[in-house]
Chain A
């Protein structure tokens, strides 16, 4: 019964070994009418209840009037807190002041955002099928990875002289990582067909309003250009691949044609299997010619920029209000931390053994004088 032994070990955290054993025995006896979930729920609940009882016992036995009624105990409790009020007030005040100083010394952060819409290709797919069949959402992620590469971001950092202070103390990799993870944001809003994001936003944040806006514009233009280049590259690659396949097929067809010509001149009958293979190659060649035509159309469409594109619908603006820091929240967090420290100090003080009563000094006897 490893389960029972484990339950007993858990309960022993909060009560004596024999009491824990008795409780586990009871829970095992009751388990026949309940489930395992109920068993472990009871173990957890009972452990917490015993632990809480121990805390209450500790405080009340040590500091409060034993045998007092509930109201009396409550009064004693408040007297206990009042006697140690400095342990609570001092950390709360110090921590709140420190947190508010830190909050007001933190630089103001501005955020600029650009919203872009995905414009579908302007020629019907039935006429010119796109050579890019990757889902838009996945392509956005791929483009984002390219834009957020170290090389690209380093160019932006240098161009706009970003993180001048940080670059003095940290290596470029750390600065780039901070820019990538903290300061650049991208959000997609799935509202298009098949859940594709029809609108997405790019944002950047920094301490300078104007620079923030210009970096956001730069990121947006990189996104737009990267999409166009990516699509164009993909269309060209498709065309090159099909051209290669066509060359291969043409070479094979020429070889078969030469064999058949030799057979004809020698008045021999070409083997049936060779004839079938020749016909299959001819079919494949014709099919590939169609595909090449489609690929040319697709490449032409991408080159003329009438394929799927990203269009800016809300350009980047100079932020009117700072985005952060959230000074009130930081100050409140400081006050909360101070409160926690104060309560811990009060608990620690209550665990200190009570001071021994002062020794009575015997009154000097006249004989001693």
Chain B
């Protein structure tokens, strides 16, 4: 969801995967990415639409994802929970700004 948020209007399969790999350093398989996005869509946290077919992809359209309002709210809740858990904790080797 964070990758979708970071990419904004350019959030489709390839850059989402690259963003996850780039930020986390972990290789996620395409199958895992697509099914996760499907499940997020099932839960109403993201929404998808098809772009126009492009010749470089053999006339195949890109499927763009964007966060829905409940998706943004879920992200905010997760971020707040994470922040609360971090409050008062000093991680070794990490200086707090």
Residues of chain A from 48 to 95 with CB closer than 8 A to chain B in the complex: 48-50, 52-53, 57, 67
Assess whether A140 is interfacial by the CB under 8 Å rule.
no
Which of A21, A29, A52, A53 meets B61, CB within 8 Å? Answer: A21
Assess whether B78 is interfacial by the CB under 8 Å rule.
no
Assess whether A23 is interfacial by the CB under 8 Å rule.
yes
Chain A nearest CB: distance from B80 CB in Å? 19
Are A46 and B31 also in contact (CB < 8 A) when A22-B13, A53-B39 are?
A: yes
Assess whether A157 is interfacial by the CB under 8 Å rule.
no
SS class of chain B's interface: helix, strand, loop or mixed?
Answer: helix
Chain B residues whose C-beta falls within 8 Å of the C-beta of A42 in the assembled complex: 29-31
The answer on a CB contact under 8 Å between B60 and A25 is yes
The answer on a CB contact under 8 Å between A49 and B61 is no
Are A49 and B31 also in contact (CB < 8 A) when A4-B58, A18-B61 are?
A: yes
Binary per-residue interface labels of chain B (30-54) against chain A in the complex, 1 for a CB within 8 Å, 0 otherwise: 1110110011001100000010001
The answer on a CB contact under 8 Å between A25 and B34 is no
Are A49 and B60 also in contact (CB < 8 A) when A29-B14, A30-B14 are?
A: no
Are A26 and B50 also in contact (CB < 8 A) when A49-B32, A57-B42 are?
A: no
Binary per-residue interface labels of chain A (335-353) against chain B in the complex, 1 for a CB within 8 Å, 0 otherwise: 0000000000000000000
The answer on a CB contact under 8 Å between B61 and A45 is no
Chain B residues whose C-beta falls within 8 Å of the C-beta of A162 in the assembled complex: none
Nearest residue in B to A45 (C-beta to C-beta)? Answer: B31
The answer on a CB contact under 8 Å between A25 and B35 is no
The answer on a CB contact under 8 Å between B30 and A23 is yes
SS class of chain A's interface: helix, strand, loop or mixed?
Answer: helix
C-alpha gap A1/B58 in the complex (Å): 8
Residues of chain A from 18 to 47 with CB closer than 8 A to chain B in the complex: 18-19, 21-30, 42, 45-47
C-alpha gap A113/B30 in the complex (Å): 57
Identify the A interface with B (CB < 8 A): 1, 4, 18-19, 21-30, 42, 45-50, 52-53, 57, 67
Chain B residues whose C-beta falls within 8 Å of the C-beta of A1 in the assembled complex: 58
Which of A22, A46, A47, A52 meets B60, CB within 8 Å? Answer: A22
Are A45 and B58 also in contact (CB < 8 A) when A26-B14, A30-B14 are?
A: no
User: 23 interchain pairs (CB within 8 A)?
Assistant: A1-B58, A18-B61, A21-B61, A22-B50, A23-B30, A24-B60, A25-B54, A25-B57, A25-B61, A26-B30, A26-B57, A27-B30, A28-B57, A29-B56, A30-B17, A45-B29, A46-B30, A49-B32, A49-B34, A53-B35, A53-B38, A57-B42, A67-B43
Are A23 and B58 also in contact (CB < 8 A) when A45-B30, A46-B31, A49-B34 are?
A: no
C-alpha gap A4/B56 in the complex (Å): 12
Chain B residues whose C-beta falls within 8 Å of the C-beta of A48 in the assembled complex: 31
Q: Which of B35, B54, B60, B61 has the most CB of A within 10 A?
A: B60
